[in-house]
A and B are shown apart, each in its own frame.
Chain A
Amino acid sequence: MSAVEIGRSRACRVLIGTVGGQGGGVLSDWLVHGLLESGWGASSIGLLGLSQRAGTVTYYCEGAPGRDVPRVASMFGVPGEVDLVIGQELLELGRILAAGFAAPHAVIVGNSARYLTTAEKMPAEGGVYDTSIIVNAARQLAPDRHYLFDAQRLVVEAGLPPLSSNAILLGAAVASPVLNLPREGFHTAIERSQVSVKANIAAFNLGYERVRDGSLPRTMVSGVKLPQEASETVRQRLSAIEGRASQEAYRELVDQCAAEFPAEVMSVLAEALYRLIDFQDARYAEDYIGRLRSMAARGPSAQKLLAAYARHLANWLSYEDVSRVAQLKTRRQRFAGIEQEYEVNGQRYVVVDYLVPDTEQVLGALPAGLARLIENIGRRLFSNFDRLKFPLRIKTSTVVGYWLMRLIAAQRRFRRGSLRHRQELALIERWELAIIQHLERPEFASLVVDAARVVKGYGRTRRDALEDLWLFLEQGMARLHKIKAAEGDVKVAGAQALATLSREAGSAAASMKGLDAVLLVLSQRTASVAVK
């Protein structure tokens, strides 16, 4: 219908999603230069601005055979029209896919590694984007033409530096059916850039060859971790426990529990018993089992939530007091880990630990009576006694620092008599009482059990979190009862309220607000029904 010979030749369109400052500019430059060297005409556009500082930066390239043929390039990718989508990072790949740029025939080459955004890191829970959504989208959009692989891992496994991960992505893209070009032009481009030439050419070849020989996996994403088998946990933890007696005790308790508790609970216990023996001793773990037993004895509805109860109770009972922190900081594994992470090969190294105990944490370590006495005197002498903090920098890698920490760690033998321990037990009992009160209505009880997951942190963070818990158990549960009465969905509303609560210590108000909103909708619904 038109006189123009349309479709005479269509340039290949490429979008590259990157994180600012991670070498995306170099990557797009390699692509354009490589295309030019391969006898193509090519150009690229990168919109940077402030985003160079770890924000989203997207590069758009167009190229077609014929280096000297003038073309009219688009300044933007058009939705549904891009032939090759490269994601230097998984979320940035997702951003391009979600915006619908991929053409029906598009090839998708993406790094499955994540580089978290600030917004994802801030919430205590539920902040990190579910990457399975992106993987699924890539599968749907390009069923046989997607490669999502951990670029860093592949290059490191090949003995190359992690920074050459951009080159492996380029190699895979160039070998993929959408470009399918000889590699030499791109070698020249990498050489010209003078950026770690040898490693980058090797990484490029790796991606190129693995696409050519079909050995590059379509998806290589470490998705949701499957819960580990209890027996595997036991095997690992046995080797981690210090001291033969503790090892024996752990093994015995595990065997004993295996006979008594269902598999679902056992998968928690395998870890929990290890942690509690490590925290205190075998007797402490036995006390824990005792608590589980008495909860289980309260009938089938208690047994149903036993696994969750066991999990949160174990975390709670292994609260992080000063001697626990000192214990963890003087571990053999810790030093070995540091030496590996910091590539220490015999050099001198100094580890400085930033500690900041407050009045509550210091007093908590003392015997309850003595702590109370000091508290009484202290409060009279200092108006800000409860708000005192003691910032310490301890060189744990030096002889003095290390043994000071060991001394603090050794205080754990007196832990049972400490003020902190009494306080924690009282708090746990308060929580348990709330569980027991709700056992009649399992959907409520399971929310009460699960709410304990917010109890974590140190100092003020933990105090705020506890405050959140009690507010939820009192005011939140009261609202949920009203929601139930108004025939609302307690499970959904409760899970949502807990999700809000667990985002950040001090979120009780936000959580209550959410429940109020649910109530408001329900009351309006009731009102409109009544009018009808």
Chain B
Amino acid sequence: MAHAFTDSDIDQLKGGAGSKLYGDGALVVLKALLESGVSYFGGYPGAPTANLLDAVADAYEPVLKDYGMYFESSSNEMAAAAMLAASVYEPVRGAVTWKVLGNGVATDVVDHVSQLGVKDGAMIIVGEDYGGSSTTVLQRTLPWAAKAGLVTIDPRGDQQLLHRMGKEGMDLSRDSQSVVALLLRPHLSHANSEIVVGDNLLPKISTVHKLKEFRKDPTLFALPPYSFQQEKSRFETRLPTAARLVAERKLNEFFGNRDAKVGLITHGTTYNTVLRLLSLMGLADEFGALDPRLHLLQLNVIHPLNDDQLADFMSGKSHVLLIEEGQPELLELYLRALLQKRSMSLSFSAHDRVPKFGELSPEKLALPLAGFVEEALGFEGPVASMQALLDRKQQAGKLFPKPVPPRLPTFCSGCPERPVFSQMKIDEYNTGVKHWHAGDVGCYGMAGYMPFEMADSNIGMGGGLAAASAVSALSEQKNVSVVGDGTLWHSAFNTSAANAIYNKQDATYVVLDNKWTAMTGAHENPNVGRLMNGEAMNATMSIPATFKAMGVKRIETANPYKFKEFQAKLKKIHKDAGTPQVRVLISEAECALQAQRHIRPAREEAIKVGKRVEIERLGVDEEVCVGDHACMRFNGCPSLSLKDGPNPLRTAPVASIDKTCIGCGVCGEISTAAQLCPSFYKVTKIENAGLLERWREAISRWLIPAKRGAPKAPPTAVQA
């Protein structure tokens, strides 16, 4: 629905050898998968690989369906991982995707699939998200992947190489019978550039060429007595084969002079930052050439490592610097152990110079790298040149006596989640009673930011209410927790609701049912009634019916935009808070962003064909507003802002609503509920009004002197 690829973007996926493709990392990876002949694809959306699911969904009808690719929008990451089982039993290639957080959700299944091994190739495209824009708790995939025995590809920042790694990864998976994790960082996923592509490969086994039946193999059972043999094959054969092939197929890359005494080891996109910094030090150029005194090994595969390749690189070097991003520092530990095992002696540094944790941005890496280079090459200059750049940063900072305030994200104009938090905030303001608001993972996590600051715990997807269990058992405080429909279907029905009901937790559980998995950019879920590939569902999955079947006695559904009704229902179910019982209030209204996507065109169409249409927008009377901004502290709507007021004697700007307002009416409701001011008004403009209404308008213009100042128009005038 919100998938944003145009027809011409998708058309490029059909391109043959030598043709060009312009697009983001998602499109590049999907093209690589098509060239690898994948039979199935699944996943759970999340940044920075939500766009990969979008690309697959958008390409399904025009391209993938004909190729016979099976596509599933998995209910969570574990379900996605379980799809890979098909590759365990038969030689079918498949890929799934999720964001780095999903690793944990999928772990149990991934461990099984990995232990059993795959036949023709299986790939997990993980949205690695370690940077400043990350939407998750900070973590690396490497420790998880190493523990699960996955081949892990962490390509440098180059879309052409990413394309190659997609294909090589699938072949490596086949030839080592191991599951491959391809890390897709935001810098790759959200990068747009142009690449040269190859021919697509039709899968042998597909929805159009089905197998008669899947082979049954009793030894493919991940428990004793078979598991030891699987473990043996994994560590004696499969992973060592992968390590050998990594070197043979030159998946890791060497740059510079192999006889140089000074070595640098990079992985993933740290390569790009190192290269740029070296070029600024005069030791590299922007085409990848290095100073002959330097030799660089880029690890595009970070697990398994090839001991011989690493030892060869380090032997004969006097100094080696490993640039490893984040913790735990598995690459460093591995390399230090290798040096010890092979009794190699050289000056090796890693996190003793490079920042231990956090994204390695140029400004963080500049001085450590320059310091190493000066010491290893024995000349001065790099530190001074890097310092000069950093000084410019400082000088610019001095021009700003007041720091530039942060711009934190906020609920969209007309969002149905805002009024829920507004009402809880107003309730707190009116009663002074502060409940514990356990949050969960979704757009509503933004309630943790200004002006609400009402996500008291935000503890991992689906675990929101469960996080309130001991909290409310150990305090007098009542809890009012929120969860979205997407997260409910992902895991919260089990992890939070079932847990709470079974354990007699005292909870008021507010379900923000906006009909979409909205946070990821609007993805289909069971509430939408449609699959991500566009097909209709053939069953109804109802949230209230599910709660009812789980034994919840008090379930209410309310429209969050109607404060009176909503508050009454919330009050009603919250009345006996304190008794051990789960009470559910379903706040039901479609995601405004999604709703507007169909309302707007439908409205324009209706106006064109002469149908009666009401258009609503809110406003603020600039003369009545005194600039106390109390409304802002319960709202935070992007359409509600400030402007200079008409009274120059006042010392503050007045509130103002711009044309992006979609008329949800929440500012007026807030003003009433928190008893703020009489400044807000709603204007309903009626296009193609009926005769009776036009007469009424004419009469009102005649009987209302204030309206007579306004331009008159004939009552028959119809505006398109």
Contact = CB atoms under 8 A, between A and B. Distances in A.
Interface of A: 1-11, 19-21, 28-29, 32-33, 36, 41-56, 64, 67, 69-81, 91-92, 94-95, 97-102, 104, 115-125, 127-130, 133-134, 136-137, 140-141, 192, 194, 225, 227-228, 233, 268, 271-272, 275, 311, 314-315, 320, 325, 328-336, 338-339, 341-358, 389, 391, 396-399, 402, 453, 456-462, 465, 502, 504-505
Contacts of A76: 273, 361-362
Interface of B: 6, 8, 22, 47-48, 129, 131-135, 157-160, 186-187, 190-194, 269, 271-273, 275-277, 279-280, 282-293, 361-363, 366, 379, 388-397, 399-412, 443, 445-446, 449-451, 519, 521, 617, 619, 621, 623-624, 626-630, 632-633, 636, 638, 640-642, 644, 647-653, 668-669, 671-672, 675-678, 680-687, 689, 693-694, 696-697, 699-700, 703-715, 717, 719
Contact of A325 (B361, B521, B624, B641): B624
- Of the listed residues B285, B647, B697, B706, the one surrounded by the most CB atoms of chain A closer than 10 A to its CB is B706
B193 A117 contact: no
19 contacts: A6-B279, A51-B409, A53-B410, A72-B275, A73-B158, A78-B366, A100-B395, A116-B641, A120-B642, A129-B404, A129-B405, A130-B402, A332-B708, A335-B707, A347-B689, A348-B693, A350-B683, A397-B704, A465-B628
A357 B678 CA distance: 8
A119 B287 contact: no
B678 A355 contact: yes
A32 B24 CA distance: 12
Contact of A79 (B389, B640, B709, B710): B389
A173 B632 CA distance: 36
Nearest to B651: A453
B400 A94 contact: yes
B523 to A, nearest CB: 14
- Of the listed residues A91, A124, A345, the one surrounded by the most CB atoms of chain B closer than 10 A to its CB is A124
A69 B404 contact: no
A6 B287 CA distance: 10
A141 B399 CA distance: 9
B648 to A, nearest CB: 6
Contacts of A339: 710-711
B592 to A, nearest CB: 11
Contacts of A334: 621, 623, 706
- Of the listed residues A72, A136, A332, the one surrounded by the most CB atoms of chain B closer than 10 A to its CB is A72
A460 B697 contact: no
A180 B521 CA distance: 36
Given A77-B362, A100-B393, 9 more contacts: A6-B283, A78-B276, A98-B404, A118-B410, A136-B399, A140-B399, A347-B697, A399-B700, A456-B628
Nearest to A51: B409
A55 to B, nearest CB: 3
Which 10 pairs of residues, A with B, have the shortest CB-CB distance? A346-B713, A100-B393, A80-B392, A55-B409, A43-B193, A100-B396, A47-B133, A332-B709, A457-B628, A74-B276
Contacts of B412: 21, 53-54
Nearest to B644: A225
Nearest to A455: B626
Contact of B677 (A33, A95, A402, A457): A457
Contacts of A42: 193
Contacts of A358: 675
B60 to A, nearest CB: 22
A461 B630 contact: yes
Nearest to B443: A53
Contacts of A119: 405-406, 408, 450
A71 B630 CA distance: 53
- Of the listed residues B284, B395, B682, the one surrounded by the most CB atoms of chain A closer than 10 A to its CB is B682
A133 B449 contact: no
Nearest to A460: B675
Given A45-B190, A272-B649, A334-B621, A117 B706 contact: no
A397 to B, nearest CB: 7
A399 B693 contact: no
A71 B677 CA distance: 59
A10 B286 contact: yes
A431 to B, nearest CB: 16
Contact of A133 (B134, B400, B669, B672): B400
B285 A118 contact: no
A320 B624 contact: yes
Given A72-B286, A75-B157, A79-B389, A122 B632 contact: yes
B509 to A, nearest CB: 24
A14 to B, nearest CB: 13
A68 B515 CA distance: 45
Contacts of A92: 407
A342 B395 CA distance: 47
B272 A74 contact: yes
A388 to B, nearest CB: 11
Contacts of A227: 648
A401 to B, nearest CB: 9
B683 A351 contact: yes
A233 B642 CA distance: 23
Given A9-B286, A349-B684, A397-B707, A100 B675 contact: no
B190 A54 contact: no
B712 A356 contact: no
A67 B20 CA distance: 12
- Of the listed residues A345, A398, A461, the one surrounded by the most CB atoms of chain B closer than 10 A to its CB is A461
Nearest to A357: B678
Contacts of B193: 32, 42-44, 73
A75 B269 contact: yes
Contact of A1 (B282, B392, B521, B710): B282
- Of the listed residues B291, B388, B393, B623, the one surrounded by the most CB atoms of chain A closer than 10 A to its CB is B623
B1 to A, nearest CB: 16
A210 B289 CA distance: 41
Contacts of B642: 116, 120-121, 128
A330 B678 CA distance: 13
Contact of A342 (B291, B293, B683, B707): B683
B627 A124 contact: yes
A71 B133 CA distance: 25
Contact of A52 (B192, B194, B272, B409): B409
- Of the listed residues B285, B388, B406, B699, the one surrounded by the most CB atoms of chain A closer than 10 A to its CB is B285
A71 B393 CA distance: 26
A271 B678 contact: no
A92 B651 CA distance: 26
B22 A329 contact: no
- Of the listed residues A71, A311, A354, the one surrounded by the most CB atoms of chain B closer than 10 A to its CB is A354
A467 to B, nearest CB: 14
A324 B190 CA distance: 54
Contacts of B686: 347-350
Contacts of B396: 97-102, 137, 141
